[in-house]
Amino acid sequence: MKHQESVFDTLDRSNASLLADHQINQHFRTAHWTNDLDRVSYHADKVHTLSFYVKGGEGSRRIDVNKGNGHTGSLCIFPQFHESQWEITSEFRFAHLYFSDESIKQYASTTLDIEPRLIEIPDLTFHEDERLMNLAQQLFLSELIASELIAQELTAPELACNPTALAKEQQIQQIFEHILSDQRYCLNHSAKIIGGLSPAALIKTKEYIHAHYQQNIHLAELAALVDLSEFHFLRMFKASTGFTPNDYLMHVRIEAAKQAIKSNDPLVNVALNCGFSNQSHMNRTFKKWVGVTPGVFRKLTKSS
């Protein structure tokens, strides 16, 4: 059985050099690499990867399939469970976005009202898409600047927060919107949708969560709303939305907190009014989901 690991972990063990690395939040991570004279085999099962060739790539070749050679601006997508073999014969620079399966399915469900079970990330090598290339350039700008400074043995402390995790998350959402709206990418229209909550049951559950997110909501009461066992409801809700019920509740609380934080209301009040047990609980959860603390988020939104 082949050893499974993330694309990042595979590169970390190869000849590739890591130039910049940014863990945005629990779902997103970006990295900027350079590599030369190497053979790399991916057996990745953890996350999806969007790869963008920053400079060069003519010496990069996928040897398990014949896709030609890369070049500056080339795009690759390595879906979860992706496997491939690569030969590198000349130096090139590339940037990666690592994103969880949950993140794109949750975005599809909550923002675009797309059935998450239709989402199937494609395996693409040296793909040409001008819009996606432009979005990738915007996303990786800070990593490109940072890597140049590292190469020149310079330092720039301000790069640690420029652009912010919040700005990067918004850029990633633009990428998601593009690939979810383009029929060449993620939608598997031939998929047979089995199981999940009925539309009426899903609407009823969501409406209940939105109406009671300030309170403690238990799995048993959500299951009772639609006459299902807790175990069955948990599986059906996750299939229909991409979220567990608890994660969906946290999503609603975070979105409510984002709006409340924009006011001058003390953060302790925001926390209690949005269903968090205290301000520390909100701070931890908000940082995990958004990538910045509520205090930093307030400063960023007021300065924008």
Q: What is the pLDDT of residues 266-303, one digit of tens each?
A: 999 999 999 999 999 999 999 999 988 999 999 888 77
Q: Are the C-beta atoms of residues 132 and 75 closer than 8 Å to each other?
A: yes
Most distant pair of Cα atoms in the chain: their distance: 64
For residues 95 and 168, the model is more confident at 95
Return the half-sphere exposure (C-beta side, CA atoms, 13 A cut-off) of residue 245.
24
DSSP per-residue letters across 255-286: HHHHHHHTSSS-HHHHHHHTT-SSHHHHHHHH
Closest CA relative to residue 186, chosen from 254, 115, 247, 257? 115
Is pLDDT of 148 > 50? Answer: yes
Cα–Cα dist 116/186, whole Å = 10
Query: Per this entry, what is the length of the chain?
Result: 304
Cα–Cα dist 5/169, whole Å = 24
3-class secondary structure, 5: coil
Matching residue, tokens 């998601």: 176
Cα–Cα dist 21/203, whole Å = 40
pTM for this entry? 0.85
**CA of 294: how far to CAs of 157, 258, 290, in Å?**
22, 8, 9
The full set of domains in the chain, from first to last, is 7-181 (2.60.120.10), 199-303 (1.10.10.60)
- Per-residue pLDDT, 301: 82
Q: Which amino acid is at 211?
A: A
Q: Are the C-beta atoms of residues 22 and 30 closer than 8 Å to each other?
A: yes
- Per-residue pLDDT, 147: 52
Q: Which positions ≥6 away from 222 have C-beta within 8 Å?
A: 205, 208, 209, 233, 237, 245
Lowest mean pLDDT among 128-137, 186-195, 274-283: 186-195
- Per-residue pLDDT, 258: 95
DSSP per-residue letters across 36-92: -SEEEEEE--S-EEEEEEEE--TTEEETTTT--B--TT-EEEE-TT-EEEEEE-S-E
Is pLDDT of 174 > 80? Answer: yes
Cα–Cα dist 259/262, whole Å = 6
- Per-residue pLDDT, 160: 41
Closest CA relative to residue 254, chosen from 221, 219, 216, 293? 293
- Per-residue pLDDT, 260: 95
Mean pLDDT of the chain: 89
Share of the chain above pLDDT 90, in %: 71
Cα–Cα dist 188/120, whole Å = 6
3-class secondary structure, 16: coil
- Per-residue pLDDT, 295: 93
- 192-250 tens-digit pLDDT: 777 789 989 999 999 999 999 999 999 999 999 999 999 999 999 998 998 999 999 99
